[in-house]
Homo-oligomer: A and B are copies of this chain.
Amino acid sequence: MAVPALSVKEMETYLRREFPQVFNDDSGLTIVDITAQGCRVAQAFRPEFVRPGGTVSGPTMMALADFAMYVAILAAIGPVALAVTTNLNINFLRKPAQAGLIADVRLLKLGKRLAVGEVVLYSEGEDEPVAHVTSTYSIPPRP
């Protein structure tokens, strides 16, 4: 896993083509950085994310974590469009600000059949994480 399989630019091009419902000019998603062990993804704030009590919705955070994991796996093993989430566990830690979100992914394991990663979510500008996720993806057998 010494070098990512895709650069940020290649990743964005791939996602626009293969995942346009999620990654497009209006999504507010940015691939901030890609490393050999993971990635950083940002989600810009959208008023529709807000829930009663002024918090950003749990599903907004779960969707971002799931997307960021997918990016990290693609970055590590190359375009594998059929890698699918098998498990996701999220702990909500603090009420997010009405601000954008940052997702930092670290891959814990990259096996032949399963990948496991950790995603730490932050409100933009805040130091303490708002949520912590671990997730497992199933990697289809490579031809």
The interface of chain A, by Cβ under 8 A from chain B, is: 18-19, 21-22, 48, 50-53, 55, 58-59, 62-63, 66, 81-82, 84-95, 108-109, 113-114, 116, 118, 129, 132, 134, 136, 138
Q: Are B82 and A86 in contact (CB under 8 A)?
A: no
Q: Are A108 and B91 in contact (CB under 8 A)?
A: yes
CA distance A62 to B92 in the complex (A): 14
Given contacts A62-B63, A93-B108, 19 further A-B contacts (CB under 8 A): A21-B50, A21-B51, A22-B51, A52-B81, A52-B82, A53-B81, A59-B63, A62-B62, A85-B92, A86-B92, A87-B91, A89-B89, A89-B134, A91-B108, A94-B109, A108-B129, A114-B138, A118-B118, A134-B134
Q: Are A86 and B132 in contact (CB under 8 A)?
A: no
CA distance A71 to B92 in the complex (A): 19
Q: Are B132 and A91 in contact (CB under 8 A)?
A: no
Copy tally for this chain in the complex stands at: 4
- Kindly list chain B residues whose C-beta atoms are within 8 Å of the C-beta of A136: 86-87, 91, 136
CB distance from A65 to the nearest CB of B (A): 9
- Kindly list chain B residues whose C-beta atoms are within 8 Å of the C-beta of A108: 91, 93, 129, 132
CA distance A108 to B127 in the complex (A): 12
